[in-house]
């Protein structure tokens, strides 16, 4: 427990107002100077200890919380004898100085793939039309493919009401489930073309059918090389997928992203647009209507869209991984 430097100890027992319990004639200036929350009253060492306390996990402090709040930190500091009295607002002010917010949390996935940087870098190169240090030619294409599973068709119990002045669109909360589609899509990265298909079940046959659909069309059927960027899902995982696809389409090069790196696949960006623009709110009279909406949106997207302006490069990846590694070492 830290002791205050000489000159900090006040004679007599102080009340919350800053004066002793029997003193009624203490000047207002004196009480303000030595009020517990006054700036400069607490020694710098205590500020450091409170900030260090806020950077601990509750379990290491034997506290039954998942996150710490300012009041939790202030209470723990008083209970452990770190300080006699301190307010929640003082704790907040100190933590805010260094943007320490233990009441917030962010989910993350540790990059466990030992070749994460190598696999991610070659995808970033393809987005810049580079492969193994060579510029892609005009008859070489880059396609991102993925699947959006279990898109339900929900028929509302009461019809959806259109917006009115002063009133937004009104969608009935209750609905009838009419089934769901697995939506597979392939996006030509540099030409903003989309190819999609709906299936009752997401399986290898559905993915292979999508590949066939794309490769039968111009200009892909006569392309020198078509690079297909996919994740490690069960439909297109590992060398088995590579051998299966290339046996039927020798001009395809399958490029797998690192495990848990869906943010590298531009098909995910397209899916997020579909979700916002075509599927929310979800109100469809039938599965066929849902499928029709998805295909109509594909055609609409191609008429208005431009290739995504992808700015994250190899250099940015190296900086991100270096920052990540440093933060992990610091936390350890």
pLDDT at 25 over 50: no
pTM of the model: 0.76
Binned at pLDDT 50, 70 and 90, residue 332 comes out as low
Predicted confidence (pLDDT) per residue in 118-176, tens digit: 999 999 999 999 999 999 999 999 999 999 999 999 999 999 999 999 999 999 999 99
pLDDT at 77 over 90: yes
Binned at pLDDT 50, 70 and 90, residue 32 comes out as very low
Residue 323 burial by Cβ neighbours in a 10 Å radius (0-12, 13-18, 19+)? exposed
Let me know: does 258 contact 120? Beta carbons within 8 Å: yes
pLDDT of the residue at 169: 95
pLDDT at 18 over 60: no
pLDDT of the residue at 209: 96
Let me know: does 228 contact 254? Beta carbons within 8 Å: yes
Quick one: average pLDDT of 231-259?
93
Predicted confidence (pLDDT) per residue in 214-229, tens digit: 999 999 999 999 999 9
Q: 7, 44, 10: which is closest to 26 by C-alpha?
A: 10
Q: Which domains does the chain have, with CATH numbers?
A: 28-97 (no CATH), 116-323 (3.30.420.10)
pLDDT at 20 over 60: no
Let me know: does 122 contact 255? Beta carbons within 8 Å: yes
Percentage of the chain exceeding pLDDT 70: 87
Predicted confidence (pLDDT) per residue in 95-127, tens digit: 999 999 999 998 877 777 888 999 999 999 999
pLDDT of the residue at 10: 38
Quote the distance between the C-alpha of residue 32 and its chain's center: 46
Binned at pLDDT 50, 70 and 90, residue 71 comes out as very high
pLDDT of the residue at 118: 92
Which residues, including other chains, have CB under 8 Å from residue 97's CB and lie 6 or more apart?
A: none
**Average pLDDT across the chain, whole number:** 87
pLDDT of the residue at 162: 93
Let me know: does 67 contact 102? Beta carbons within 8 Å: yes
DSSP string spanning 122-185? Answer: HHHHHHTTEETTEEPPTTEEEEEEEEEEEEEEEEESSPPBPPBTTB--B--S-EEEEEEEEEEE
pLDDT of the residue at 226: 97
Please give the DSSP secondary-structure letter assigned to residue 252: E
Beta strand 225-230 with 252-256: parallel, antiparallel or unpaired? parallel
Let me know: does 191 contact 217? Beta carbons within 8 Å: no
pLDDT of the residue at 19: 41
pLDDT at 314 over 70: yes
pLDDT at 258 over 80: yes
């Amino acid at each position: 427990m830290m002791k205050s430097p000489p000159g900090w100890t006040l004679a007599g027992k102080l009340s919350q107002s800053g004066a002793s319990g029997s003193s009624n004639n203490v000047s207002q200036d004196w009480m303000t100077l030595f009020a517990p929350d006054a700036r400069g009253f607490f020694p710098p060492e205590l500020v450091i200890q409170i900030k260090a306390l806020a950077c601990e996990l509750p379990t290491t402090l034997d506290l039954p919380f998942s996150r710490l709040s300012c009041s939790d930190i202030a209470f723990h500091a008083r209970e452990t004898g770190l300080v006699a009295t301190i307010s929640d607002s003082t704790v907040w002010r100190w933590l805010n100085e260094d943007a320490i917010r233990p009441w917030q949390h962010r989910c993350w996935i540790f990059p466990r793939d030992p070749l994460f940087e190598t696999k991610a870098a070659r995808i970033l190169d393809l987005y810049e039309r580079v492969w193994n240090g060579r510029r892609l030619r005009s008859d070489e294409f880059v396609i991102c493919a993925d699947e959006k599973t279990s898109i339900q068709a929900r028929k509302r119990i009461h019809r959806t009401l259109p917006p009115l002045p002063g009133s937004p669109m009104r969608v009935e909360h209750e609905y009838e489930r009419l089934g769901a589609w697995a939506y597979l899509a392939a996006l030509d990265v540099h030409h903003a073309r989309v190819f999609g298909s709906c299936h009752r079940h997401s399986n290898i046959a559905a993915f292979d059918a999508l590949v066939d659909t794309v490769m039968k069309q111009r200009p892909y059927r006569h392309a020198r090389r078509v690079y297909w960027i996919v994740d490690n899902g069960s439909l297109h995982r590992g060398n088995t997928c590579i051998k299966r696809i290339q046996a039927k389409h020798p001009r395809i090069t399958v490029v797998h992203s690192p495990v848990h790196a869906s943010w590298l696949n531009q098909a995910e960006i397209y899916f997020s647009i579909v979700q916002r623009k075509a599927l929310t709110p979800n109100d469809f009279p039938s599965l066929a209507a849902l499928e029709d909406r998805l295909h109509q949106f594909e055609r609409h997207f191609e008429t208005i869209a431009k290739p995504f302006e992808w700015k994250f490069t190899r250099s940015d990846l190296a900086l991100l991984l270096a920052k990540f590694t440093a933060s992990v070492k610091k936390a350890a």
